[in-house]
Amino acid sequence: MTEILIAALPLILLLGSLLLGHYPSCEAIVRLSERISSQTRRRSAPRAARRPRAPASFAACGGLLIGLCLARRPPPLAA
């Protein structure tokens, strides 16, 4: 019984803090979102000067994907 209570203690503490209106790590989430938004604003100007890169990989999509799925090998040559 004690093992179950010890294992559930973090969940109980988190639930209790949420019910009391305190959101753990709320400030950390806000700081992280501000950091990410400031980085995207700084990087937007030099990015326009660079040439666009080709995609790293090519995956079939749309009509090409349907064509590849429906493609069949021709029958073997008669000897």
pLDDT given at position 22:
78
- 3 is a domain residue: yes
User: How many separate domains does the chain show?
Assistant: 1
Mean pLDDT of the chain: 76
Q: Is the pLDDT of residue 8 over 90?
A: yes
Torsion of CA 41, 46, 52, 55, to 10 degrees: -50
- 5 is a domain residue: yes
| Average pLDDT rounded to a whole number, residues 6-34 | 84
- 20 is a domain residue: yes
pLDDT in tens, 54-71: 666 666 677 777 777 788
Write the single-letter amino acid at 57: S
Band of pLDDT at residue 9, cut at 50, 70 and 90: very high
Report yes or no: 44 and 54 within 8 Å, Cβ to Cβ: no
- 62 is a domain residue: no
| Owning domain of residue 13 | 1-41
Position with higher pLDDT, 58 vs 35: 35
